[in-house]
Structure 1
Amino acid sequence: MLFNSRYDQSFADVEAQAAATPIGHSAVSQKVKRFADLLLSVILVVPVGLLLGVIVLAVMIFDRQPVFYVQTRIGRRGQPFRCIKVRTMRLDADARLEQILAEDPAAARQWREHQKLSHDPRVTPIGRFLRKTSLDELPQLLNVFRGDMSLVGPRPIIADEIDRYGADIAYYMAVRPGVTGLWQVSGRSQTSYARRVALDREYVETQSLPKDLSILVKTVRVVLTGDGSA
């Protein structure tokens, strides 16, 4: 468990609120949501698998292996899990990031504010296309099957981002992180990190199956148009 006492108390407050006024992370809601995740994942597994096969082949042809990138992210109730994506960055991405942040004050400021870089030089040519279309996220369907993630929820964060949520980390950790979510259909990389946190809290407070379906439909539009991509 990755909470400190401040987060534990904050999460307890959210649990008490859920008991009094059912919100997105109530026990019944989560069971229904989990069933919907599994049902939709089964429906999607064949088309996603075929598309992923084409992507894997393209990455192997135009870039070096490994094809997949696995990173530890923070899940529901603070449990870490291994999040799977198609690799979109150079193999020396971590070292390159340290160099960029040390040498470029503007890039360092952007990283602090957004945890992202516009025109990121670490991203490979094919990686730019995969990120713009969010196709690099497709392997996370396996995370959904395993129960680490949901189809819709907050964007999964790494441990270094926990403090940026403040007390609102309790809302993030009340639900499973999602392959897509309210942030992704609300401007994603064009929004500030503070706005992202606010969107995560709004999602948890208002989550419902109709809202999840609406976000999934909007995600298709965002993917096709590239709206908000870095």
Structure 2
Amino acid sequence: MKKRLSFGILIFLSLFIFSCSNDENTNSSGLTESPEAIIQFDNSNFGIYKGVFIGSSGIVVINVNNEGKVSATMIIDGTTYIFTTSEVTQENQQTVINFTSGNDSFTFSVSSNGTNPEISNLTIAGHPNANIILVKETSVILTELFEGSYAGIGNSTDAGTFNAIVAGNKMAVLAYSNTNNAYFTIDGTINNNSISGVTSTGTNVNGTLNGNNMIGTWNDSQSNENGNWSGKRTY
């Protein structure tokens, strides 16, 4: 009886410790708080790449042998797409991988040291003219993905999608204007949760990061247009 009791206690403690360990890596929203990337691949083509999708709205995560496998996942409007490849990749080499998921496909390329990751030849059924930006995650800085929107106020009629990548004190945004039917990007910085940046079209962007939410304003001094934007972390 004592042996059975001790064994039962050990199982309980093991499950409790495992549960606590998992909880430490996620927040109350179920989002990870630790990088998925492995330290040995921080300066390699291998590792984890994360990005945001517009053409509808979504996120993308690409795993290049970070855990001994090559795969990609997209979550678009709540629908998950799993991409695979039969191609073999070599470490510390310029890399080009063709991913497929049924009739959907794209090409991922990255330099030998993990810089300049890009996606091309993107074909997703029901999402024409889609676009993606992505960055390489490192083992020391968590990369977070946000999805949101922006809109003008007053006489400013511009509105669209505003999806952001946050890694430490840097923010990269892919946005799409429904009014002008055009993509644009934003390079931003985050200092003590205060966001500032400039779009590729010259518009100033400011805001605040508060946990899994970001909110702010935009102002175009040339056209005298301005408005608000917001985003919520989804990965």
TM range, smaller chain: under 0.3
TM-score, normalization by structure 2 = 0.25
Pick 1 or 2: higher relative contact order, CA cutoff 8 A, min separation 6. 1
Larger Rg computed on CA atoms = 2
TM-score, normalization by structure 1 = 0.26
Greater percentage in strand:
2
